Amino acid sequence: MEPLRVSDLYSLEQYHKVRAEFRAKVLAHKKNRQLPLGPNATFYFEDRLTMQYQIQEMLRIERIFESEAIEDELAAYNPLIPDGSNFKATLMIEFPEVEERRKALAKLTGMEDHVYVEVDGHERVYALADEDMERTTEEKTSAVHFLRFELDQATRDALRGGAAFRFGCDHPEYRHETPVPKPVAESLVADLD
């Protein structure tokens, strides 16, 4: 996928006019780009459209219209767009109660290094986590991680050929695996073009 450029974005005035329609389009698109991982974690798979929406919303909220500041937003979010050889996702670790979340994040230190994708007939591919900055300390992991699953050519070919796949985590405190349903699989495999 091509990175976003300034010319791909709406101006603040244009976005105000098309926001409701654009937002509806993005939310419908995102339905096939989410995958639960056990009861307390969810993958939100990113692509060009989800990142355009994120940037547009940031520009709107922050009232950013200066070209240098827009370029800064593009530089921050473009790395989250898959480039044809990978899946990219935001992993959210979700516990509703504050104290429960605090205790869980302390037990899940390093969880991001135990997250994988496994394609039938191929070895697990563990995520490269938080390449922009470290989000885990010795005391706890973060509730948000940015992951990249880098896939070799044979694995990409298998996925394009319809191989089943699953995402999982083998952290001692959070062992879960989720098969990828067909609508989500189709959406993700499109990232490999």
Given this model, what pLDDT does residue 193 score? 78
Q: How far apart are CA 9 and CA 125, in angstroms?
A: 34
Please count the structural domains in the chain: 1
Residue 58 contacts by C-beta under 8 Å, 6 or more apart in sequence? 64, 73
Q: Is residue 137 part of a domain?
A: yes
**Cβ neighbour number for residue 148 with a 10 Å cutoff:** 20
**Burial track 89-102 (b if 16+ CB lie within 10 A, e otherwise):** bbbbbebeeeeebe
Q: Is residue 182 part of a domain?
A: yes
Q: Is residue 176 part of a domain?
A: yes
Q: How far apart are CA 37 and CA 34, in angstroms?
A: 10
Given this model, what pLDDT does residue 155 score? 97
Given this model, what pLDDT does residue 9 score? 96
Q: Is residue 65 part of a domain?
A: no
Pick the closest to residue 177 from 164, 158, 160 (CA basis).
164
Domain that residue 168 falls in: 86-192
Given this model, what pLDDT does residue 133 score? 55
**Cβ neighbour number for residue 187 with a 10 Å cutoff:** 18
pTM over cut 0.75: yes
Element (H or E) spanning 168, and its range?
A: strand 165-171
Predicted confidence pLDDT, tens digits, the chain (193 residues): 789 999 999 999 999 999 999 999 999 999 999 999 999 999 999 999 999 999 999 999 999 888 899 999 999 899 999 999 999 999 999 999 999 999 999 999 999 999 999 999 999 999 999 766 565 667 788 899 999 999 999 999 999 999 999 999 999 999 999 999 999 999 999 999 7
Q: Is residue 132 part of a domain?
A: yes
Q: Is residue 154 part of a domain?
A: yes
C-beta of residue 2 within 8 angstroms of C-beta of residue 48: yes
The single-letter code of the amino acid at 175 is R
Given this model, what pLDDT does residue 59 score? 94
Q: Is residue 14 part of a domain?
A: no
Given this model, what pLDDT does residue 57 score? 96
Q: Is residue 124 part of a domain?
A: yes
